[in-house]
A and B are shown apart, each in its own frame.
Chain A
Amino acid sequence: MALLQISEPGQTAAPHERKHALGIDLGTTNSLVATVRSGTAEALPDNEGRVLLPSAVYYGPEQPLVGHSALVQASEYPTDTLQSFKRLMGRGAGDVDAMGYTLLESEEGMARIQTSAGDISPVQASADVLAELARRGRDTVGSEIDGVVITVPAYFDEAQRQATKDAATLAGLRVIRLLNEPTAAAVAYGLDSGREGLIAVYDLGGGTFDISILRLNLGVFEVVATGGDTALGGDDFDQALAHWALQQAGLNAGDPAQLRAALMAARAAKEQLSAQDSAELIIGGQSLAITREQFEALIQSLVKRSLRACRRALRDAGCEPTDVQEVVMVGGSTRVPLVRSAVAELFGRDPLTSIDPDTVVAVGAALQADLLVGNKPDQELLLLDVIPLSLGLETVGGLVEKVIERNTTIPVGKAQEFTTYKDGQTAMAIHVVQGERELVSDCRSLARFELRGIPPMVAGAARILVTFQVDADGLLSVTAEEQSTGVQASISVKPSYGLSDDQIADMLQASWRHAEGDMLARQLAEERVAAEQLVLSLHAAIEQDASLLEAEEREQLEVAMLELVGLCENSEEPAKIKQACEALGRQSEAFAARRMDAAIGKALAGVKLDELESMTEDKH
């Protein structure tokens, strides 16, 4: 039943200001979408009331089928029904378990899956799932979507994050932020309870395990350490149980159709065993009984593996299990009683399970999305994230010199000096790698580029400053500069496993082939919106901080703003509007810097006042 909703005056933004943002949990087994409506975040159901969309796509002779309708095809067309493809994101065919599919490698070394409808990249399959969820979001809010926050496992590396962003672009979505899944879960709980202190987020999904240690204080979440395993999840419980069942029934695990059927039966039995002490599996016409105890013996080593990762993350955070004040459970697999009791034992407390572990991540993402598009200007919540893996450079002998250590809070910029190896060396190969091991061959290669034009000097005399800059999404750019001449080379890391901008453009163009004229119109509309936003935000800034501007500066800015507004009305060229926006941005940079400095001064003054007050209180 639909009720008319009436809000208190002043509590909601004016209708034209309210923006529509979605939080999307793009999972290995299931995906879902949530949004904030009337101040509450909730997962959005499909027409039949189901919130979980199976992360499955069937590529048949017709349009791809996504979700439940894809799963229906799975037993008849197992190799054309793609599942668990999140495990292939940003990976080469040789890096991963083929999971019963035929994997091919693209020219860029990226895994693709062979289907009767052609070779499909995991990015494409993810884009199809995202598009389906976005459609659900659009239908629910009844308008276009301004932006999305997509969650990724905390352990995702550069290539995997980039692949996720590529999928969103392919689905025509604007990504405001990639958010670590456990962080999103803590947002969902933190906002509700407003607690302070250390929080552990134990996230055992279908395909990945993450442990995050977060510190929550005065509305600020800080990820102090992350750890986990990208190849551990409830799917492995199913596998263990299915293989046991096939063995008991004397059947062949090598037959894909039989394995699939066994996996389905195993999943159902696993779910039953969360509520009861025994269950029955029907497999190949035979009925097998299994007790919870037997099941727990099968999965014990998997659960233990997750606990070791927990202890490592705790050590990285410099704390003991007992320092943790709350443990948040995320992911459907945390319904398994053995998982709950093992976690409770490690931390010495019962974990939090009050929010549905399947939807908690999407709910947190929706809250953060709502915040980031500016629907809650007074909200104090701020997420501080860390990079999950160390970033470094190859040095002489194939060794890795780490420039940014894992678990460093982002954004971060760090510079390190390197020098030449041979006399008269005029060029230097910069090889950027990611990982914890000492040898380059054990780490993941992210990018290579060359710095040329180094003046000839004796070995060790040149000073090459290499700067790493990681933005708030965890994406990296690297610059190398020779100090005496200032010659420079730089690269934005587009991992060799991701899609290039050109490839994305090609794929997008292919999907718009029927409407080429639309593309220009769309670009023009996008640039106009961007210009409008820039003018609005600058206008608000001038109103707020007029005292930080000289009269002349203010006049120049206002003239430029008027010109930009005029250009938007009269020009049909997106490139021109974009240029004018960039020029206005540069012109206002000094003002923006002064505003930020003023804000910093105010922030510190506020804290110092609080410190003084608490000192005075202590004396009383």
Chain B
Amino acid sequence: MNPTILFQTTLNGLMIGGVYALVAVGLTLIFGVMKIVNFAQGEFVMLGMYVSWMLATFARVGPYPGLLIVGAVMFALGYLTFKLLIIRVIGRPDEAFILLTLGLSIVLQNLVLVIFGAEYFSVDTPVKDEAFHVAGLSLSVPRLIAFVVALLLVIGLTLLLNKTDLGRAMRATAESREVATLLGINPIRCFTIAFAIGIVLAGTAGVLLTPMFYVFPGVGTLFNLTAFVVVVLGGMGSVTGALLGGLIIGIVEALSSTYISLDLSQLFTFLIFLAVLFFRPSGLFGGATQ
């Protein structure tokens, strides 16, 4: 086995794993606080990619300078989705929420198809083909930026959850909605903010991916399934778990597609997923919320 290829593959996996982690952290935040799985998370990644593509095409704002604008748009979308749809199924059985977000994912994906067509778009940045070369390994700049920004956002979220009143209120709501209410916390407000932040993280992941992935209506599906796997691996509701899970899945996918077969790389992801669900349902790393 050629060690350079092994290190290169692992490195590539690690970098893309950072983006998986970002999508999954959004999902796990929503799950942790509200105890519900958002089946449309991947579609918000896709929307982030389209907003970024529109900024680049119509306003000549590249993905990295446009990051904040996309973040704001995604916050608004997350807020609206919560107020128009999600809030109506709070307190109903799990199935209602799963089916509502499944419906939302079908609508979003096909609405984009209706508006923009099935074309594959790509977004240009000046650093698209730049790469660092160290010790025979090459590290592409967009991948590095995606990894670093993803990491910073996850650290930022951890700080928000642990060091601010809002974060403490969200964690209290995650522990027990009733107790939080008794403490004077407004759980619906926490749900709204957690949901909107989760959507912002998905959309930001989309922006970071545009220099590496084509933008098309079905692109979110890829990230939906991976995000579920990562979240379960890290323990539903655990932010650190989702971060580590994302990195692990990134590396596993890269290694299995290099060394075993490209079309089987997803198979290993799903087998790990089922194994964790059956044998360690609280995730690989324990499973305390947060």
Partners in one complex: no
Chain A contacts to B: CB under 8 angstroms: none
Chain B contacts to A: CB under 8 angstroms: none
